[in-house]
Structure 1
């Protein structure tokens, strides 16, 4: 496994509203990426932390999303196949997160 990738997404929604938007839209956001229809997503909440695992095409990514009053922090460990793309993925993940929290 590679080192975890961490992305901070600032917001002004408060923790409760940000959590609700993530709960309602995370699976849809994952499904919208290229190949997303082939991804099996498992997620569960523990307070304001969503723990997830995404499996597809023989690869697994796992991590968590911490929701706070002014920032959402996503930490994900990518499979070796994607580990070399961390810098490109970080920007795309941040953009998708900002859209989700609008």
Structure 2
């Protein structure tokens, strides 16, 4: 098993504000993939667990919401683990948009 991609995303929304933004935006992640993807999500306390399935691959992720940041962990399947660095860069650039 590969190491997860881990990114911390700072915000100034407070815990509830960040939760609300994530809840309304996580479903849009599937639209980022060519041909679209499906997103399954569930909350456990302040942690959003979701899986994105697109292009024959499933990626499980966790977003733990804190007062000043969101801690993201993305579990990549072996085929995508080769691109972990690029995926981390993309997350650091694009993930803050979910909190806007």
TM-score for both structures, normalised by structure 2: 0.90
Structure 1 pair 4–36 and aligned structure 2 pair: CA distance change class (3 A): farther
Alignment of 1:4-83 (within 5 A): 4-28=4-28, 30-35=29-34, 37=36, 39-83=37-81
Which range is displaced more, 4-13 or 53-62? 53-62
How many residues are matched? 100
**Which ranges of structure 1 fall in alignment gaps of 5 or more residues?**
none
TM-score for both structures, normalised by structure 1: 0.89
Structure 1 pair 7–60 and aligned structure 2 pair: CA distance change class (3 A): same
